[in-house]
Amino acid sequence: MGVNPNISSRISGVGAFVPEKIMTNHDLEKMMDTSDEWIVQRTGINQRHWVEQNVSTSDLGFKASLDAIADAGLKKEDIDMIIFATLSPDHDFPGSACFLQDKLGLSGIAALDIRQQCSGFIYGLSIADKFIQSGSHKNILLVGGEIHSKGLDKTPNGRAVSVLFGDGAGAVIVSATEVKDASKDGHIIATNLHADGAFAKELWLPGPGTGFDDPERVPKTMIQEGWHYPQMNGKTVFVHAVKRMCETLVHTCTSSGVKLEDVDLFLFHQANLRINDKVGEMLQIPADKVFNTIQNYGNTTAATIPLGMRDAIKAGKLKRGMLVASAAFGSGFTWASGLWRY
């Protein structure tokens, strides 16, 4: 089925959910030989939310989904596909989209998991946009959700990575629409997706997996070696994130005939406030056009952008008809950008 020129997609609903428990930097000081000053200065993070032990990633996704479906003014039965972006699924298989589908009681519709880590939301938005444009689907639920807190080394050994991440979920409904006036009507204008696997091991979670020189995917030494915790070369990530986010953002805007100064709001992935400040500085974007939430949530990976959308709407910073540009960078390396009229 080809792309139908009369059908566009738009973000018809936005929702989010974060668990109640807040972990401040001072709480982490008691666990992992860090300081509020170090974390704030290097990352901009003040606090993050962590789940209780009986909560799964699809539980967070479920609450964010109900919020997004209500915001779109739809019934859950109107949803005809679920895309779930997460690097911290409920279980290795099946994907969290299947667990979420069951919780929503939507047996029979397509349920798809994607990885792509911090770029997962924009990858998912691009996939949803293409399915909608093909005419095969009308209302796709796209969820980005993570529970990092169950997968971090919370001892001093893990402090360089573990202070960065938080738990949460965001969701949007991507719906079919007909655009009559492109300067006013909500629609997704462009998405661009990229990856460079040469950098896969600069930010990764090695185990469990089949990539070990071992007959078992859970090697006996895995826990002892800490291969079940994320590994990151922070400086390499920083440099590539700034470069690639700038590149892809400029490409998406210019190839759509949009000047950066015409964009009303920038919603960047929330890896580190310093990364976003640097991107803003390099592209000369006024600070009040960039909406950051990392101060409150830490890095929630696939959830950061929809969570930011929900908070920007609540804060009155994102209104219908505004032009939004978004860019993300993460493990893979993967990076992506999107431009839409909300």
Q: Site residues (CB under 6 A) for ligand ACO? A: 34-35, 38, 42-43, 118, 159-160, 163-164, 203, 232, 234-235, 237-238, 241, 271-272, 274-275, 299, 329-330
Nearer to ligand ACO, 125 or 203 (CB): 203
Nearer to ligand ACO, 175 or 301 (CB): 301
Spell out the residues 6+ positions from residue 212 whose beta carbon is closer than 8 angstroms to its own. Answer: 206, 219, 222, 227
CB of 242 to ligand ACO, least distance (A): 9
Task: Pull the structure tokens for residue 118.
Answer: 């911090």
What is the spatial distance between Cα 16 and Cα 66, in angstroms, rounded to a whole number? 9
The three-state DSSP-derived secondary structure of 102-140 is HHHCCCCCEEEEECCHHHHHHHHHHHHHHHHHHCCCCEE
What is the spatial distance between Cα 320 and Cα 265, in angstroms, rounded to a whole number? 12
Q: Is 160 exposed, middle or buried (0-12, 13-18, 19+ CB in 10 A)?
A: middle
Q: Is 192 a known active-site residue?
A: no
Of residues 118, 148, 240, 272, which has the active-site annotation?
118
CB of 115 to ligand ACO, least distance (A): 14
What is the spatial distance between Cα 243 and Cα 1, in angstroms, rounded to a whole number? 36
Q: Is 253 a known active-site residue?
A: no
**Which residues on adjacent β-strands are paired with residue 172?**
14, 142
CB of 23 to ligand ACO, least distance (A): 13
CA atoms within 13 A on the CB side of 282: 16
CB of 205 to ligand ACO, least distance (A): 12
Of residues 192, 240, 269, 292, which has the active-site annotation?
269
CB of 39 to ligand ACO, least distance (A): 6
Which residue is closest to ligand ACO by CB?
A: 234
Nearer to ligand ACO, 142 or 241 (CB): 241
Q: What is the DSSP string of 132-169?
A: HHHTS-SEEEEEEEE--GGGS--SGGGHHHHTTB--EE
Q: Is 157 a known active-site residue?
A: no
Task: Tell me the C-alpha to C-alpha distance, in Å, between residue 135 and each of 4, 140, 176, 314.
Answer: 7, 12, 8, 32
Can you give the length of the chain in residues? 342
Closest CA to 121 of 333, 268, 276: 268
Nearer to ligand ACO, 113 or 146 (CB): 146
> What are the φ and ψ backbone dihedral angles of 141, each rounded to 5 degrees?
-90, 115
CB of 28 to ligand ACO, least distance (A): 8
Active-site positions read 118, 269, 299
